[in-house]
A = this chain, B = another copy of it.
Amino acid sequence: MGRRSDAREKILTSAQSLIELRGYSALGVAEICKAASVPKGSFYYFFESKEALALAVLDEHWTAQRTDWARVLQDDAEPLSRLRRLFEETEAGLRAGRQSCGTVSGCMFGNLTLELSNQTEPIRKRLQQIFDAQVEMVERVIAEAREREEVTVGDAREAARSVVAQLEGQVLFAKLYNDTQHLEGLWANCLSLLSARRPDEAAISS
């Protein structure tokens, strides 16, 4: 059973790397098993289909990313500083990925949303839950900033969705141009979207 659990982990790790590099549709189960050095029979022991694997990859990736987002967004710093750190860490993560594998792979959730959400309802639903959770985490920070009169927004949820949309749009450009400098304007964009009072330091990147 120990070896089988290893196999599940290996399949998940290989699938995540391959999906980040080449998307979902371009991959076959045989290729994933080969990359994981696991026999094809093991695959179907752990996953009933390629779709089931994709759902597990999404869950694993979101579990890790949610921990990162919570660490940044739920700490004791001032609300807008936390949002700023989220963008800085996102940019740093994509930059590190580019340095290690040569390409900006983008956001796995955004990638799979555009590739798959019209093709499989279970994956669409899972991605909706993930983006809902992201928006909710950002919304709480915006609501705090609003209480402190640091931002002027009517609907904090709509504002949070606009901020996450801006993040996804700029990550799309970072992937397209294979260049993370497109993310440098995110903080200034976020302040604009939130009609924030701009402290001097915030104006640097605008």
Contact = CB atoms under 8 A, between A and B. Distances in A.
Given A162-B166, A169-B168, A193-B193, A103 B118 contact: yes
Given A114-B111, A185-B158, A131 B192 contact: no
A173 interface: yes
Tallying the copies of this chain within the complex gives 2
Interface string A10-22: 0000000000011
A164 B169 contact: yes
Interface stretch (A58-66, A142-150, A175-183): A175-183
A180 to B, nearest CB: 14
27 contacts: A21-B118, A21-B119, A23-B25, A23-B115, A23-B116, A23-B119, A25-B25, A25-B115, A103-B118, A104-B118, A106-B114, A110-B172, A111-B114, A117-B176, A117-B178, A118-B178, A124-B178, A127-B176, A128-B176, A131-B173, A161-B185, A162-B189, A165-B166, A165-B169, A165-B170, A166-B166, A192-B195
Contact of A182 (B22, B23, B124, B161): B161
The A interface is mostly helix, strand or loop, or mixed, namely: helix
Interface residues on A, range: 35 or more
A26 B119 contact: yes
Contacts of A182: 161
